[in-house]
């Protein structure tokens, strides 16, 4: 005797399949970014040009160029080996070797004269970038959300008006202006913080305090205006009017209802900044002499070090893919109405 069929089909959890699909898409994106970066870079600079730049001097012989290329593996064909047959045409090329190494997180050595270990440099400098970016990320989220909630609480008042004016002013000024003025006022005049440099351990606080505060000030205007607009959109909805009709105080309506229902756009905005927490800040690390990943990228671009640039592009793509996956999973956890597909 057959068992009776269920009236409703069993509900399957789509999370596992969703994660597998996103990982598959992410791998395809990583391969595409890797190949595109390889083609674009060697379209602009050939290995011979890179050798001349790194060797230096006006009179560089072909023997020196060939030696430099052989030491770094650029003496083989870049894309296609016409002398080989079958699979060896592709597998015995620089593009194949470097691509496989990157996918295995084996970054190799840089193309510069120092020939540093890129993996060691990334692991060392990432810790410095995290010391700058993690406090900034937390402070930026707390201060921006708190300031925008304050403006919405005092909406249509002078506090709201002048708060919006302040946000527009902060948003209109370049971050370079904050750096120059901050270094002049707090370092040269008041001598409250070093103008640049870095020290390990607890001494790092006095070097990182000024760039954290200036970076927070540079981003406050745009973030606060975005969150204020989202809160104003939520505050006019039916569930807010129902909460007020029940006699709930205005500040509790904002914190318990409006803020909770605006979590998805807040997490989206904050998640877009997460890769920079690991990759560092190009501008602030360079101006303040902080030896993080941001300064590492600037030095590599200035020296046209393809190995480092390509590694950082790969890591940036990997972090963005992982961040988007985590954000999509967080959406389903925060709001059960969100369906992952």
Domain-embedded: residue 62: no
| pLDDT at site 6 | 42
Is residue 50 within 8 A of residue 111, CB to CB? The reply is: yes
Phi/psi of residue 197, each to 5°? 115, 180
| pLDDT at site 89 | 65
Is residue 123 within 8 A of residue 196, CB to CB? The reply is: no
Domain-embedded: residue 314: no
Residue range(s) defining the domain that contains residue 236: 125-303
What are the pLDDT tens digits along the chain (341 aa)?
A: 454 444 434 444 566 777 788 888 888 888 888 888 888 887 777 787 778 877 776 677 888 888 888 877 777 777 776 666 666 666 677 777 788 888 888 888 887 777 788 888 888 888 888 888 888 889 988 999 999 999 999 988 999 999 999 999 998 888 888 888 888 898 888 888 888 888 888 888 888 899 999 988 888 888 899 899 888 888 888 888 888 888 888 888 888 888 888 888 888 888 878 777 777 677 888 888 888 888 888 888 877 788 888 888 888 888 888 888 888 777 777 766 666 55
Domain-embedded: residue 280: yes
Residue tagged 């975005």 (tokens): 226
| pLDDT at site 158 | 93
Domain-embedded: residue 145: yes
How many structural domains does the chain have?
Answer: 1
| pLDDT at site 336 | 65
Report the run of H or E that residue 27 belongs to, with start and end.
helix 15-44
Of 114, 288, 280, which is closest to residue 206 (Cα–Cα)? 288
CATH number, domain containing residue 257: 1.10.3720.10
| pLDDT at site 79 | 76
- Please enumerate, as own/partner, the contacts of 79-87 that have beta carbons within 8 Å and a separation of 24 or more: 79/39
Cα 100-103-105 angle, rounded to 5 deg: 110
Measured distance CA(290)–CA(305) in Å, rounded = 20
Other residues' Cβ atoms within 10 Å of the Cβ of residue 156: 7
| pLDDT at site 13 | 52
Domain-embedded: residue 325: no
| pLDDT at site 339 | 62
Strand partners, 109: 117
Domain-embedded: residue 99: no
Measured distance CA(117)–CA(115) in Å, rounded = 7
Measured distance CA(118)–CA(327) in Å, rounded = 29
Domain-embedded: residue 156: yes
Measured distance CA(176)–CA(199) in Å, rounded = 23
- The answer for 216, left when phi > 0, alpha when psi is -120 to 50, beta otherwise, is alpha
DSSP 235-280: HTSHHHHHHHHTT--HHHIIIIIIHHHTHHHHHHHHHHHHHHHHH-
Domain-embedded: residue 185: yes
Structure tokens of 329? 């999973």
Is this model's pTM higher than 0.85 or not? no
């Amino acid at each position: 005797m057959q068992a009776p069929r269920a009236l409703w089909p069993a509900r399957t959890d789509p999370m596992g399949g969703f994660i597998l699909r996103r990982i598959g898409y992410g791998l395809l994106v990583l391969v595409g970014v890797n190949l595109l970066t390889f083609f674009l870079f060697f379209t602009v600079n050939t290995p011979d040009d890179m050798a001349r730049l790194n060797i230096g001097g006006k009179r560089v012989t072909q023997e020196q160029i060939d030696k430099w290329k052989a030491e770094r593996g650029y003496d083989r064909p870049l894309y296609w080996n016409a002398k080989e047959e079958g699979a060896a045409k592709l597998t015995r090329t620089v593009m194949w070797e470097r691509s496989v190494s990157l996918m295995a997180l084996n970054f190799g050595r840089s193309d510069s004269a120092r020939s540093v270990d890129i993996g060691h440099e990334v692991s060392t400098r990432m810790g410095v970038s995290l010391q700058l970016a993690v406090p900034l990320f937390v402070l930026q989220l707390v201060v921006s959300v708190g300031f925008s909630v304050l403006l919405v609480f005092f909406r249509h008042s002078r506090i709201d008006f002048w708060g919006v004016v302040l946000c527009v002013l902060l948003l209109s000024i370049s971050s370079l202006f904050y750096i120059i003025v901050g270094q002049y006022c707090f370092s040269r005049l008041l001598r409250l913080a070093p103008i640049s440099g870095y020290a390990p351990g607890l001494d790092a606080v006095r070097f990182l305090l000024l760039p954290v505060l200036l970076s927070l000030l540079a981003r406050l205007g745009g973030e606060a205006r975005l969150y204020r607009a989202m809160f104003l959109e939520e505050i006019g909805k039916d569930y807010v009017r129902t909460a007020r009709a029940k006699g709930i105080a205005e500040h509790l309506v904002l914190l318990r209802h409006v803020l909770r229902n605006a979590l998805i756009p807040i997490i989206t905005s904050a998640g877009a900044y997460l890769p920079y927490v690991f990759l560092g800040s190009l501008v602030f690390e360079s101006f303040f002499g902080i030896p993080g990943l941001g300064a590492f990228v600037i030095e590599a671009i200035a020296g046209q070090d393809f190995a480092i640039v390509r590694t950082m592009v790969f890591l940036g793509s990997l972090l963005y893919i992982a961040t988007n996956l985590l954000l999509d999973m967080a959406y389903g956890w925060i709001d059960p109405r969100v369906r992952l597909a």
